[in-house]
Amino acid sequence: MFKIVFLFVLTYTTSLASNIEEMYAKGFYKEIVEEYRAENDSDRYFVGASFYKLGEFEKAVAILENVEKEHLEESQFLLVSSFLSLSDTFSAYKVVKRMKSTNMRREAKFEIASFHLKEGSIERAKKILESLVSSYGSKYYNACFKLGMINFDELDYKSAISNLERCLSNKDLKDMGLIIYTLGMCHEKIGNTKKATYFFTKSAEKVGKYSLSSAISMMNLKFGTSSEFLFWLNKAISIAIQRNDLRGFDSIINYLIKKDKRDLAMEVLNSYSISNSYAAEKKVDILVDFDMFEEALEEIGKSDLCGDKRDYLECLIFFNLGNYEMVVKKGVKLKDIESMLRVSWAYLFLEDYSSSLAAFNNLKERGIKDAFYGILVIMAKMNTISKSFLKEFREVPFSREDYEIFDKLMGYVNNRSTCLILIDELLNRDSSDETLNRVMKYLLDLEDYNLVLSYAERFSSDSAKNFYKGLAKINLGEDSYQYLKLSSEDPKYREHSLYLLFDSFFSSGSYDAALNYSSLYLQQKFMNHRDEILEKASMIHLKRGDIEQAKKLINKITNKERAHLLISDLYFNTGEYTKSARKYLNFLKKYPGSEYVPEVLFSLSQIFYNTESYELAKVYLEKLLDVDSPFRYEALYSLGIVSCQIKDFENAIRSFEKFFSQNSSRVDNWIEYIAVFVFEKGFSTEYRERFLRLANSLNREKVRLETLRMVFAGKVEGDIEDFRSLVNSNYKEEALDILLSYYLAIQNYDRAIFVIYSTKTKDSSLSSLIKALKHSKRGEFEESISILRTLKLKNSSFRDKIYFELANCYKNLGDETSYLEILIDFAERFKSSILIHKVLDDLVDINVKRRNNSEAKKYFFKLKGVNNEAAEKYVDAINF
């Protein structure tokens, strides 16, 4: 009987065990926790696991901690996950230590690392992952991947490459696309173009999430090479269109705009389109960004844009064109804040103050800060700022940007009382010393120095208070010294008052007064500013040529390290390079850890450069590059120059490329060295082209302008079209001069007209010139001549272009006599014109063909003076 019962219980238990496992596999977690009591290890595991699946982690922990043998490893792993879900990392670590299975311990550690990452504890996660990678290497791909991505986020690209490349052998990783793309970005960041190209190409060819981004990255890598750049542009477009990816297509267009390839962006939009409305809107945006508002209006007219979107764009364009009546017409029904603000300002500019006030008040009710300032502008213009409005205005939060708004407001004020109301309002909102400094500028503009004295009392800083009081006394013609002397009698203010007087006179160049105050300060044996005053006083003596007195003051400086450096600098600045070099070298031995070491290394390199010891200059520049310093950019720049001098052109290129990649502020000045070193120091054609591409890719206005000038003059090869955007730069006048000259020279009237439209330059002759060019474009040269002959009598900054086009018209009509007369007149009138070399070239050519040797020779020598290469082709044709 006992045997039968035992067999029944055994069979029932086995059936239950099998049943609970089957129920768990089918996801019946709720039924398991309700039906089973967890009386053995198997039950405990499945019940605990079910609680885990149901998110009841505390119950899961209570049961899983009692699993002793069966399913022990799985239970321990779930325990780790449960503790992490409860944010109990300490208990999770304790479980990991008990784990006997290497694989389970590894997975549990990875789980903890993932938890730390999720919580933002990057360093903790990184430490665990580094341990896993160190133990398992490339066998544990997940850890390598996570660690590599952390390295990438921390800009540690070399470590990222090391860890991510370990993942490449596992072809089944779901994140393989991201890994390959990230490797491309890492190699691009460290300048390894070859490997970046390899990974980006692989990613672009691999159909996936990152193929489009990789194609755009390849566009960036190949930006300077037209054929490869266009290949990857077409590849990126193809990917975006195949996916019907409007956002991706927009990324391509935005990249082209960012790279100043607006014409190409327009061409792409005209040729490919995922959405007609998108294409139209984007083309309008590009034209607006290019300040081509008239063309933007034409584009809108041709498009199918309608409704609020069309009105929004037209409102924006008319606002920029200053057509405020149309701004009101197009924007009055629009509900977006930007358009409503434009309409409000348009009313104001139309001097319809009541409508403007109503519009601004409407926006004010919505809490729009700019509306408050608009109302203030109206009140400032009308000199009727109400106290009730100011009370309401004080509720608007104040920010740093509001300082600029107040600056503009003060510009509208035309009487003293309104100015003082605004000043009090500003101080009511923020009475910090920073705001008081701004208020002092307003008061100084009013030349109300008594108010300066009054408001100076509000400063919390004694130095500011004394400075503005002293400044007010000076401007009032009073004895500021006597005032500051009285204030300096108080021990609390004495030292700073004397220092402030010295520093203000030193800064203004009143050196006698500065030396007087330096003596007073030093006699008092003050210490806070002693070294600074000694150093600046020595600079005054050095400027006056009193070197011995400068040395005496420097030797009194308590900071001996600084004093040593200043003496070294003194010898350097007076041209005593041998003494200076010796002092600098002693400094390096005596103070190897000094913050001034980079400065000393740079000065040594300058000494050796100035004494033509170029190899030594190179040595110290390379040492300077090994330390982190603000001289790094200068060092790269100088190393390029030194390398040019010793004909080490490859090193010169590397130095300049690094210099450019780090965006040094001195990059604009480098263009002179393109001419001096690249084109006159023996560079091969390959190096010249490489430098030119580099200069063009910088997108620095000055560099690009000078490069354009050299391309037009024929000194270097390049595509003029790449420089058209310069007409909207800080050098628009110079760029317009060159580009217009170029298009007139090749008689490309479409481009000539376009480049005039593209500029904001205002010249009354331009509209007439455009009419003449349109006639020339249609072959109506007589009509063009009629306009140009009138124009050439006017005083215009484009007068040389008018003469040049007039010559073109006569040439096209076959009137060689008039053509020659205009050219001769041009050569006499416009000797400094950028077109002079082309005019002289034509004059030599005409006289050579006419066999007029004396005239040909005359213009030949003039041409040789401005463009030697152009003149050389006539050497054999002229009898010298």
Burial-class residue 549 by CB neighbours within 10 Å (0-12, 13-18, 19+). Answer: middle
The larger pLDDT score, comparing residue 847 to residue 482, is at: 847
Span 421-428, average pLDDT: 77
Position 3 confidence tier, pLDDT thresholds 50, 70, 90: very low
Decide if pLDDT at 232 tops 90.
no
**What six digits make up the tokens of 813?**
């009509």
Per-residue pLDDT of 544-580, as tens digits, reads 888 899 889 988 888 899 999 899 989 888 889 999 9
CATH number at residue 165: 1.25.40.10
Position 445 confidence tier, pLDDT thresholds 50, 70, 90: confident
Decide if pLDDT at 518 tops 90.
no
Q: What is the pLDDT of residue 15?
A: 46
Task: Give percent above pLDDT 90 in the chain.
Answer: 5
Element (DSSP H or E) covering residue 437: helix 433-446
**What six digits make up the tokens of 272?**
């490919």
**CB < 8 Å & 24+ apart, contacts of 750-753:** 750/777, 753/777
DSSP code for 674: I
The larger pLDDT score, comparing residue 717 to residue 280, is at: 280
Per-residue pLDDT of 645-665, as tens digits, reads 787 877 877 887 777 666 545
Instruction: Assess contact for 276 and 248: CB atoms under 8 A.
Output: no
Decide if pLDDT at 534 tops 80.
yes
Cα 567 from Cα 231, distance rounded (Å): 60
Q: What is the pLDDT of residue 442?
A: 80
Q: What is the pLDDT of residue 12?
A: 41
**What six digits make up the tokens of 792?**
């050439």
User: Tokens 């590009």 map to which residue?
Assistant: 286
Number of H helices, E strands in the chain: 52, 0
Top mean pLDDT of 368-372, 422-426, 544-548, 616-620 is at: 616-620
Instruction: Assess contact for 305 and 277: CB atoms under 8 A.
Output: yes
Summary mean pLDDT of the chain: 77
Kindly state whether residue 185 falls inside one of the protein's structural domains: yes
Kindly state whether residue 92 falls inside one of the protein's structural domains: yes
Q: What is the pLDDT of residue 11?
A: 40
Decide if pLDDT at 800 tops 90.
no
Position 587 confidence tier, pLDDT thresholds 50, 70, 90: very high
Kindly state whether residue 877 falls inside one of the protein's structural domains: no
Output phi, psi for 715, to 5 deg. -80, -30
Q: Kindly give the interhelix angle for 614-625 and 597-610, rounded to the nearest 10 degrees.
A: 160
Cα 251 from Cα 80, distance rounded (Å): 43
Task: Name 18's Cβ contacts closer than 8 Å, sequence gap at least 6.
Answer: none
Position 320 confidence tier, pLDDT thresholds 50, 70, 90: confident
- Domain of 48 in residue numbering reads as 36-221
Instruction: Assess contact for 114 and 125: CB atoms under 8 A.
Output: yes
Q: Which of 557, 574, 592 is the last residue of a domain?
A: 557
Q: Which of 489, 523, 557 is the last residue of a domain?
A: 557
Instruction: Assess contact for 844 and 863: CB atoms under 8 A.
Output: yes
Output phi, psi for 136, to 5 deg. -115, -15
Cα 373 from Cα 375, distance rounded (Å): 5
Q: b/e for 367-402, b at 16 or more Cβ within 10 A?
A: ebbbbbbbbbbbbbeeeebeeeebeebeebeeeeeb
Q: Among 65-79, 440-454, 540-554, which is the least confidently predicted range?
A: 65-79
Decide if pLDDT at 745 tops 50.
yes
CATH number at residue 487: 1.25.40
Q: What is the pLDDT of residue 17?
A: 47
Kindly state whether residue 507 falls inside one of the protein's structural domains: yes
Per-residue pLDDT of 160-197, as tens digits, reads 888 888 887 777 777 788 888 888 888 888 888 888 88
Q: What is the pLDDT of residue 5?
A: 40
The larger pLDDT score, comparing residue 356 to residue 447, is at: 356
The CA dihedral of 641, 642, 648, 651, to the nearest 10 degrees, is -70
Decide if pLDDT at 630 tops 60.
yes
Kindly state whether residue 690 falls inside one of the protein's structural domains: no
Cα 97 from Cα 107, distance rounded (Å): 13
Q: Among 3-7, 456-460, 739-743, 749-753, which is the least confidently predicted range?
A: 3-7
Task: Name 809's Cβ contacts closer than 8 Å, sequence gap at least 6.
Answer: 776, 781, 782, 784, 785, 788
Task: Give percent above pLDDT 70 in the chain.
Answer: 82
**CB < 8 Å & 24+ apart, contacts of 211-219:** 211/177, 211/239, 212/236, 212/239, 212/240, 212/243, 212/245, 212/248, 212/251, 213/181, 213/251, 214/180, 214/181, 214/184, 215/239, 216/251, 216/252, 216/255, 217/181, 217/184, 217/185, 217/188, 219/255
Kindly state whether residue 735 falls inside one of the protein's structural domains: no
Q: Cite the DSSP H helix spans in 667-777.
A: 671-673, 685-697, 701-712, 732-745, 749-758, 764-777
Position 483 confidence tier, pLDDT thresholds 50, 70, 90: low
* pTM of the predicted protein model: 0.38
Q: Which of 221, 238, 264 is the last residue of a domain?
A: 221
Q: What is the pLDDT of residue 482?
A: 60
Cα 133 from Cα 739, distance rounded (Å): 59
Q: What is the pLDDT of residue 687?
A: 59
Decide if pLDDT at 859 tops 60.
yes
Q: What is the pLDDT of residue 141?
A: 74
DSSP string, 456-493: HTT-S-HHHHHHHHHHHHHHTTS-HHHHHHHHHTSHHH
Span 600-627, average pLDDT: 90
Decide if pLDDT at 787 tops 70.
yes
Position 43 confidence tier, pLDDT thresholds 50, 70, 90: confident
Kindly state whether residue 779 falls inside one of the protein's structural domains: no
Decide if pLDDT at 673 tops 70.
no
Per-residue pLDDT of 187-210, as tens digits, reads 888 888 888 888 888 877 776 777
* Other Cβ atoms closer than 10 A to 609: 19
Decide if pLDDT at 409 tops 90.
no
Q: What is the pLDDT of residue 588?
A: 92
Instruction: Assess contact for 186 and 157: CB atoms under 8 A.
Output: yes
Q: What is the pLDDT of residue 676?
A: 46
Q: What is the pLDDT of residue 13?
A: 42
Position 696 confidence tier, pLDDT thresholds 50, 70, 90: low
Per-residue pLDDT of 239-276, as tens digits, reads 777 777 777 777 777 777 777 777 777 777 777 766 77
| CA angle (742 as vertex; 737, 744 as ends), nearest 5 | 95
Q: What is the pLDDT of residue 879?
A: 72
Decide if pLDDT at 447 tops 70.
yes
Decide if pLDDT at 583 tops 90.
yes
**Best CA proximity match to 525, nearest among 494, 551, 563:** 494
Decide if pLDDT at 307 tops 80.
yes
Span 701-712, average pLDDT: 71
Number of domains in the chain: 2
Q: What is the pLDDT of residue 6?
A: 38
Q: What is the pLDDT of residue 223?
A: 73
Decide if pLDDT at 16 tops 90.
no
Q: b/e for 499-524, b at 16 or more Cβ within 10 A?
A: bbbbbbbbeeeebebbbebbebbbee
Position 694 confidence tier, pLDDT thresholds 50, 70, 90: low
Q: What is the pLDDT of residue 654?
A: 80
Output phi, psi for 851, to 5 deg. 60, 30
Span 329-339, average pLDDT: 88
**Which CA distances in Å does 278 have to 3, 216, 417?**
84, 20, 52
Q: What is the pLDDT of residue 258?
A: 78
Instruction: Assess contact for 319 and 348: CB atoms under 8 A.
Output: no
Kindly state whether residue 71 falls inside one of the protein's structural domains: yes
Provide the 3-class DSSP secondary structure of residue 873: coil
Per-residue pLDDT of 54-75, as tens digits, reads 778 887 777 777 776 777 777 7
The larger pLDDT score, comparing residue 397 to residue 230, is at: 230
Instruction: List the end-to-end C-alpha distance of the chain, in Å, as a whole number.
Output: 138
Distance of CA 169 to the CA centre of its chain: 38
